[in-house]
A and B are shown apart, each in its own frame.
Chain A
Amino acid sequence: MTVITGRIWKFGHGIDTDIIIPARYLILPLEEMKHKAMEPLDPEFAAKVNPGDVIVAGRNFGCGSSREQAPAVLRDLGIKAIVAASFARIFFRNAVNLGLPVVECEAVYDQVREGDVVEIQPDSGRIRIPAKAEEYSGSRLPDFLLKIINDGGLIPHLILENRKG
């Protein structure tokens, strides 16, 4: 997978799925739903994000419900990767299944500010801050999960595997 370079949106610890996308919006069509992402924290978030941006967050990112709409709205807004000190289990699975790269890294959290540019290498878990020439190592996903992300998510992955027979 290629290196992802993007501008950071920074979030704190324990960002739950009702913050990422509140319950009452889950049945909106996805196209409309994405405009509600992170609304309880910042109603302007969806308008401000640029495709290619990345998220850096604290511990237990995505805790709470199993709603896949949470990583889906972030992906649909153009978020290219999420780095968090730790992820909640279901969110992590969902992000992988949608082909959204996720890297666990505790160390980088305190070192970056919103708006900084960061380089993320999902294959190795390496994270670089070019402006400071600093480098951090995050978690590395097992090969079969990297393959799912590379194929664009679990569904495209299964279709490809099926074709190979």
Chain B
Amino acid sequence: MGKTMVEKILNQAGGSRDLSAGDIVMARVSCLMTNDAVGELTVQAFEALGRRPWDQNRIAVVLDHYIPATTENAARTHKLLRDFSRKYGLHLFDQQGVCHQLMLEKFVLPGDLVIGTDSHTCTYGGIGAFATGVGSTDGAAVMATGEIWLKIPETVRIDLQGRLPDHVHPKDIILKVIGDLGAEGATYQALQFSGEGAAGISNEGRFTLCNMAIEAGAKTGIFEPDAVTESFLKDRQAKGIFFKSDPDAEYCRQMTVSLDRLGPQISCPWSVDRVVPVEEVRGTRIDQAFIGSCTNGRIGDLRIAAQILDGKRIHPETRLLITPASQDIYRQAVLEGLIQIFIDSGAVICNPGCSACFGGQGMLWEGEVCIGTHNRNFKARMGHKDSRVYLASPETVAVSAVAGRIEDPRG
């Protein structure tokens, strides 16, 4: 019986060969990421252990959720994490952007096992790493030992077929998949995106898909690395290991998504799996639109938004917040003139970081409605418990910001 790529990566990390889904492996971690939303607890737990970091070069601390400090408590957390990182010589990313984007740009390689104290760590599967989120205590234990116990997950194979039509984006694929699987449909499992359609998805699109695997409960999302992955790594010195699933690997479930027939999707409050075709909620009045986050705050997303907004004004009763996911992306957007277009349209540009995704800024009041490119629309996440958040592609969000109501990007 062949193995899935997830089984292969975890066997490699565990120094074993024969383990399969369901087995528990004590695995060596390639790198660890923690951030300012949970870092203080991680540090406290780590210090209680009374050890040194297992390898300072493999630990990244990212200040991104409440940056620049929005409250005194945030300032306290940041100071603590800066001091801690300097004390041990850890990689500190201070006001550089969202953790997951930075990890992909600077740290993670195909075939790695990456642990992060953030649920969207699963994003790195987009280049064929096995990456998953844990809590602070698990993070602290990894920081001290470089090891973690993991149950090797079964894999759901999602075959992508065909090509996406105009105005339909990778975000629409993953919203459709989550709608079909349900919020707990893949709990404890891995989502592997395969099929001939996978080759046509860009690296950025792959990150969007893998990022939201957790919204179906999955432990990770993953693509088999290929020529597209190589193009992402062209400026990096190491290339990692390109694991692929064997042809006779065993999957717990297989599903197919026909990209040709997919239309724009939207997730409705207050659960990510409440997904409908966008035309069903077309016309819903919005107060705020948000383009950013580790799901869709990359340069390709900003280009799509700029195409829509070029020469147009956003609706006078709608606020549009645009947050590039990292400083590199921000700089690129400046060079390409996208920021000028956004400002002329009436949008506000926020500094790279989690921004409105987390309610760190751009919070909502009672009854207000937001449409965003991020990944969660849980009650109270972005502000008042009776505010409402819809999730969609950058194009859907941009056309809605112009219309002042939810709009179908196909016109």
Q: Which residues of A contact B (CB under 8 A)?
A: 14, 16-19, 22-24, 26-29, 39-40, 59-60, 63-69, 71-72, 86, 88-90, 93-94, 97-98, 142, 144, 153-155, 158-159
Contacts and interface: CB of A to CB of B under 8 A. Distances in A.
A93 B138 contact: yes
A144 B358 CA distance: 35
B136 A68 contact: yes
Contacts of B183: 14, 60, 63
Given A88-B187, A155-B45, A22 B37 contact: no
A64 B141 contact: no
Interface string B372-390: 0000101111000100000
Given A19-B378, A60-B183, A60-B184, 13 more contacts: A23-B359, A27-B76, A39-B380, A39-B385, A40-B385, A59-B184, A63-B217, A67-B38, A86-B187, A94-B134, A98-B137, A142-B24, A154-B137
B348 interface: no
Contacts of B363: 24
B117 A66 contact: yes
Contacts of B277: none
A69 B73 CA distance: 15
Nearest to B42: A68
Interface in B40-57: 40-41, 45, 48-50
B140 interface: yes
A16 B40 CA distance: 22
Interface residues on B, range: 35 or more
Nearest to A61: B184
A68 B44 CA distance: 12
B119 A90 contact: yes
A20 B264 CA distance: 32
A109 to B, nearest CB: 15
Contact of B379 (A40, A88, A93, A94): A40
Contacts of B184: 14, 59-60, 63, 86, 88
A86 B187 CA distance: 10
15 contacts: A18-B376, A27-B71, A27-B76, A64-B378, A65-B37, A66-B133, A69-B41, A86-B184, A89-B219, A94-B134, A94-B135, A94-B137, A98-B137, A142-B24, A158-B49
Contacts of A159: 48-50
B78 to A, nearest CB: 9
Contacts of A142: 24
B218 to A, nearest CB: 9
Given A86-B184, A90-B134, A67 B37 contact: yes
Contacts of A68: 38, 41, 117, 135-137
A63 B187 CA distance: 10
B135 A97 contact: yes
A26 B184 CA distance: 24
Nearest to B185: A60
B381 A22 contact: yes
A89 B217 contact: yes
B390 to A, nearest CB: 16
B379 A155 contact: no
B228 interface: no
B74 interface: yes
Nearest to A67: B38
B66 interface: yes
Interface in B60-81: 65-66, 71, 73-74, 76-77
